[in-house]
Amino acid sequence: MSHPQQFPHGGASLAYRFVRGTGPLLVFLPGYMSDMTGGKATAVADWARAQGRASLRLDYSGCGASTGDFLDGSIGRWTDDALALIDHVWPDGDVLLVGSSMGGWVALLAGQRLNKRLAGLVGIAAAPDFTIWGLTIGEVDRHHLEVDGFFTRPSDYGASYRYSRALIDDAPDHLLMDGLIRITAPVRLLHGQRDDAVPWRLALDIAARVTGDDVQVRLIKDGDHRLSRDSDIKALIGMIEDLV
């Protein structure tokens, strides 16, 4: 496969793959310490290509094929990365966001800022505010934050997760679950009830906070956090088809 395209932004070079086609632009936003080569990202891009639809995959700064230090990354910065790339490749048209796990948090933030350009949003095990409900930061962790700039947690999905001081300090400015999520475009939320990383009831909480009425939640009883089985991908693509 050819090398991804590059776009300078915020002191980094952001890697992305943009395929021209009809709108709305379909944008996949990866999860934490993930990138645009994941199974769900490529499945969405393959579907878009087969349908002749415009699509964008991307790596946040410090992730995947993008340059920059991962430890400088944060929810705010990665949201800005996504919006900068959207405006670069698709400056005026409507946008449909698909966010996985942390990418769901980014999608909800970006969706609010896109405002009337947002054609729809799909969250896959969306994890807004995970730094609050998903991380217990003890004294040892705080010591590592001060000395090393990050602390680690084991991961079931590969290398240990690193949580940086930049991420922890920035997150409170971007919390969503303490108020309304001002999105009126259609929202679809897909979540597995055997998800051991993000509680599935969070999907119901998100739905309650979105200000628009066209919000649907689909729970997959035997689905885990990855939601990457063929049947899960089929459910995801069905949601996207519903919105476009």
Catalytic annotation, residues: 101, 195, 225
Q: What residues pair up with 120 in beta bridges, in sequence order?
A: 96
DSSP 134-182: S----HHHHHHHHHTSEEEE--TTSSPEEEEHHHHHHGGGG--TTS-B-
**155 alpha-carbon distance from chain centroid:** 18
Q: Are 215 and 207 in contact (CB under 8 A)?
A: yes
Helix H or strand E encompassing 99: strand 95-100
C-alpha closest to that of 60 among 74, 45, 40: 74
Give the angle 11-13-16 at the CA atoms, nearest 5°: 145
Closest of 60, 188, 63 to residue 124, by C-alpha: 188
- Residue 3, classed as helix, strand or coil, is coil
Structure tokens at 141: 């962790």
Q: Rounded to whole angstroms, what are the CA distances from 229 to 21, 24, 222, 232?
A: 27, 26, 11, 5
d(CA 209, CA 181): 5
